[in-house]
Structures are given as C-alpha cells and as structure tokens.
C-alpha cells in the first residue's frame, strides 16, 4: 500500500545543511557526511514521489562552500 497525503503540498523545499558536522561528530571525513546526505536525499526524493509531491526544490550548495575543505 502506497502512503498518500490527503492535502499534500505541491511544492516542498529542503535546505541541506550539516553533513560535514555530522561526519565530524562521528570521527568521519567530510566526504562521508556528504555521502550520507546524498543517501538521505535519495530517500526523500522517493518519498516525495510516493506522496504525490509534484515539485521538490533542493538547496545543497552555496558559493560559501567553495571556501570550505572538501
């Protein structure tokens, strides 16, 4: 049975933040945090499709990130 929302929003926006901090707190390299964020984003996209959310906006990178380590 596929879950549905009676009044699903047409547009959901997500700001990804904290993947590097998540990794650091676990003693992992930042790249591990970025991978975990990507894995979670895939699950979010699949859930949005299942719930009938038509538009999904993801903000995952800002120009400030160019100054941060990989």
Give the residue numbers annotated as catalytic, written as ranges. 17, 65
Task: Please state, in angstroms and rounded to a whole number, the distance separating the CA atoms of residues 62 and 21.
Answer: 16
Dig out the tokens for 57 from the structure.
């906006």
Dig out the tokens for 51 from the structure.
């719930």
Q: How many CB atoms lie within 10 A of CB 52?
A: 13
């Amino acid at each position: 049975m596929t879950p549905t929302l009676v009044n699903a929003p047409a547009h959901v926006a997500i700001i990804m933040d904290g993947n590097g901090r998540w990794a650091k707190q676990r003693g992992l390299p930042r790249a591990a945090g970025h991978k975990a964020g990507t894995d979670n984003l895939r699950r979010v996209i699949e859930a949005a499709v299942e719930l009938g959310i038509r538009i999904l906006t993801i903000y995952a990178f800002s120009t400030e990130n160019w100054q941060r380590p990989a």
